[in-house]
Amino acid sequence: MQQTTYNNKSPRLTALQLALAAAGLLGAGVAIAQSTAAQTSVGQVQDVVVTTGVRGEARTVADSPAPIDVISGEQLIHTGRAELGEALARLLPSFNFGTNQAGVNSVVRPVSNRGLGPAYTLVLVNGKRRHNSALLTNGGGDTSGVNAIDLDTIPLSIIDHIEVLKDSAAAQYGSDAVAGVVNVILKTGNHGGQLGVSYGELKEVDGNPGNAKIEGNAGFRLGEDGFVNIGVAARKRGQSWKNFPSTNLVAYSPASNPKNATWNRDGAHNGDPGIEAYDVGFNLEKPLDKDTTLYAFGTAGTRNTVAGNNFRRPNGLATLAQVYPDGYFAINNMSAFDFQLNAGARGRTAGWNWDLSTGYGKNRARQYSNLTLNPSLGPTSPTSFDNLATYQFEQWTTNEDFTRAFDVGLKKPLQWSWGLEQRFERFSTYAGDRLGYINGGYIFQPGDQEGNPNVGRPAAVGAQAGVALSPDDATRVKRTVLAIYNDIGFYPVEQWFVGAAVRAEHYNDSAGNTASGKLNTRYDFSPVVAIRGTAGSGFRAPSLTQIGYSQTDNRTNINPVTGEVAPSLSKLLRNDSDLARRFGARDLDPEKSVNFGLGLVLKPADNINITLDGYQVKVKDRIVRTGYMFGPAFAPTLRAAGLTGTEWVQYFANAIDTRTRGADLVTDLTSDYGSYGLVRWGAAVNWNRTKVQRINATPSEISALGANTGGSSVWFGYSAGGGIGDLSATPRTKIILSARWFAGDWEVNAQTTRFDSYTWQTTANRAQDYHFGAKWLTDFDVSYAVSKSIKLVLGAANVFDTKPDRNGPGDANSGSSGFTYGPSPFAPSGAYYYGKVAYDF
């Protein structure tokens, strides 16, 4: 194993970071005494009217009874990141963006919120549910197997702002809102627009470091009182990687193959996949009369990706000299299409505000390869496969929402909201080319490789670097969900708000029936001080992917016993398959959650806002993947099922109970320095900790095999919890300090983010945990308005080229940075420098 070092000390601050922090403290003192006359020219975030979390009465961020952040579309663009998920993680302290730099799993990267994975945060667009991706999470710190929503399919050019509710809302919006809600609000302008062109490069990577993007937005009138706003985006990112030289001198020695003597030890092209994407979105409203408005909005897009993988060496079991005499870097291609359309009408009748809508969304992804090989077919194997696997997710949601204010003798009217929802979901996978997954049975012959190191041995099975689905893996699962909710809000006294919600849901599959409730309140002691709190329950049904997905994967895994990185043929079994049942699988039960929140709101001056919100979320019967089951204890059962006995197998199970505790501290203030401009200061801190409180007992079927010995893994042990709890590679704390300076035609934005140290567990031996130190990342950009219509932007993300510590298990065969850096909470690709030209019309 590669030698590792231990380093969990906090790094020294750079001069710019210290200056930024000091300036923020100085600005806080100055801001309270300064005039706020110039604030309206750049808008106050706290004055934004929000619609997420409370139905009925319109509210601003400042007087919301639940913690909520508002991110403007301009802020997203200023992060310099093309991916919406990563941009949110740069701006919100409780969000983290999982990085995964290998294969198909690097295409959709999960976003965690408050220490909980993507399955626990609901995504809305204009208040309506967004459909899921067809691809399941399988890395980046989350291997729960849910099909997370792909935020990157929404073009940034159509986004007006994003409202992030940092509070459980399962009783209001549905079972997957346990950690909160992300509500993307689209632009509503009826004239004008913007066209922008940007280009950037990563500082030090191999491959293609470039990232080019063109995006535009325009608004048009529909008659006298309607509008349609259209946004488009096209981007192309080069495939890039930055790995370490392979150090495995034995496997690559000239004795086994003469060509290895001149090999440059470039063992992996794992990194950012190459992407070519085209997206369009629109938002439309047209009043019919003074009481009724028709609306529609939607997005559509295509994306083609090229993901790298490990080098298949000339003397390995996956290479034939007749095809690839010098070895090859197998690649994983994917072509995806995403579409969603919502339409409806809203109005007012007999004192009731009503909203009737329906929406259909679909995501389809086809995996293929233009450079690979199924070695078991011998020298006649194809080197490209047009279809290795296809995944598809569909969702059709219909809502009827009603709200009315009632005068019941209190200082303010009581708000009553109720509604109905019907949701149909379907997840399907389709088998690929038979030649991509079959075992052709080829045995190495003399002349197949220089030096003939493998004569008489069977060649590797399956198209390399990809997941090839067979007819046995193909699945088609669907369900219908019916829901009804009631939501009331009232003021017992003028300064005290009380809200209560209850939601009942019926699933027509094994999830059955459930009910969730929520109680939230806010009391304003004065215009300066308020407290708020929440208590609620939630319910999350197993995702369709957790219920019905299976695959066979021919790539690299970490041995959970020894910690070594080695090739393995792994199988993810359907929970209801005969083989999974032989290893103790049971029908999946719904997860149940209970959450509490308590917050303090301070407004010591008109231009300063401080919020402190603590939270606790308990999840019972949480669905996770089991540990890998392999080795002598499992081999007889595997062979009896028609396999070789060497496979690593796992399935999804209700295995654990967890408790997540944390707190968010958010401060923003505005300083008016007169002729020197106006500065927005920001500081945000998140502390978060998840503990595994209970682990279900190992099924008797596994215990009977004596599976805790003989080199086999356990059903769910210490090594299987790598994505959950204290050893989940999630930083315990995250700090964001920011400043935006507006002065005439200039705007300067600076932000520095501290990711706390984290630990990565990969084996059953706690002494072999890998520790990574805390890191500061600094972003900086400058904008200049050349004219009334033209703006230039120059910036850098991670300007000081900060990377995670090199302290993972390493991979001597490939040198992959993914193993060396671990599942880092930030992209390990380093500094990114960019420029942009924007034209307003």
| CA-based nearest residue to 544, from 363, 335, 399 | 363
In the prediction, which pLDDT does 109 show?
A: 67
User: Which DSSP string corresponds to 197-254?
Assistant: EEEEEESS-EE--EEEEEEEEEEEEETTTEEEEEEEEEEEE--EE--PPP--TTTT-T
Answer yes or no: is pLDDT of 465 > 90. Answer: no
In this prediction, residues 579-603 reach a mean pLDDT of 92
Residue 784 has pLDDT above 90, yes or no: yes
Please give the DSSP secondary-structure letter assigned to residue 191: S
Nearest by Cα to 218 from 181, 251, 188 = 188
Among positive and negative, which fits the CA dihedral 632, 636, 641, 644? positive
> 491, 416, 413: which is closest to 55 by C-alpha?
416
Q: Is residue 231 part of a domain?
A: yes
pLDDT of 177? 84
pLDDT higher than threshold 50 for residue 29: no
Rounded CA-CA distance 87/441 in Å is 48
Residue 22's pLDDT is 37
Residue found by looking up tokens 């699945």 in the block: 475
705-728 pLDDT, tens per residue?
Answer: 875 544 445 677 554 454 565 445
Q: What pLDDT, on a 0 to 100 scale, did the predictor assign at position 84?
A: 78
3-state secondary structure of 445: coil
- The enclosing domain of 280 has a CATH number of 2.40.170.20
Sequence-separated (6 or more) residues with CB below 8 Å from residue 250? none
Q: How many whole angstroms separate alpha carbon 102 and alpha carbon 271?
A: 6
Give me the phi and psi of 603, to 5 degrees please.
-135, 75
| pLDDT surpassing 60 at residue 8 | no
Residue type, 420: L
370 assigned to some structural domain: yes
Sequence-ordered list of residues with C-beta below 8 angstroms from that of 337, at least 6 positions apart, any chain:
301, 302, 362, 363, 364, 365
Supply the pLDDT for residue 4: 32
CA angle 828, 834, 836 (to 5 degrees): 145
What is the count of structural domains for the chain? 1
Indicate if the pLDDT at residue 16 is higher than 50.
no
List pLDDT tens digits, range 689-709: 988 888 888 888 888 887 554
Name the pLDDT band for 539 (thresholds 50, 70, 90): confident
User: For residue 735, is it within any domain?
Assistant: yes
9 inside domain: no
Cα 837-182-101 angle, rounded to 5 deg:
65
Rounded Cα distance between 206 and 194, Å, is 34
Is residue 3 a part of any domain in this protein? no
What does DSSP assign to residue 45?
A: G
Higher pLDDT, 216 or 556: 216
Are 669 and 609 in contact by the 8 Å Cβ rule? The answer is yes
Q: Is the pTM of this model over 0.85?
A: yes
Beta strands 475-493; 414-431: pairing state = antiparallel
Average pLDDT over residues 287-313: 93
Residue 375: inside a domain, yes or no? Answer: yes
d(CA 806, CA 5): 8
* Residue 4 belongs to some domain of the structure: no
- Domain-located, residue 806: yes
Helix (H) or strand (E) holding 672: strand 652-672
| pLDDT surpasses 90 at 571 | no
Across residues 563-582, what is the average pLDDT?
78
Q: Residues 718, 766: contact at Cβ < 8 Å?
A: yes
Domain containing 113: what range? 15-840
DSSP symbols for 721-735? GTTSGGGBS--SEEE
Structure tokens at 597: 């929140």
| Exposure b/e, 329-339, CB count within 10 A at least 16 = b | bbbbbbbbbbb
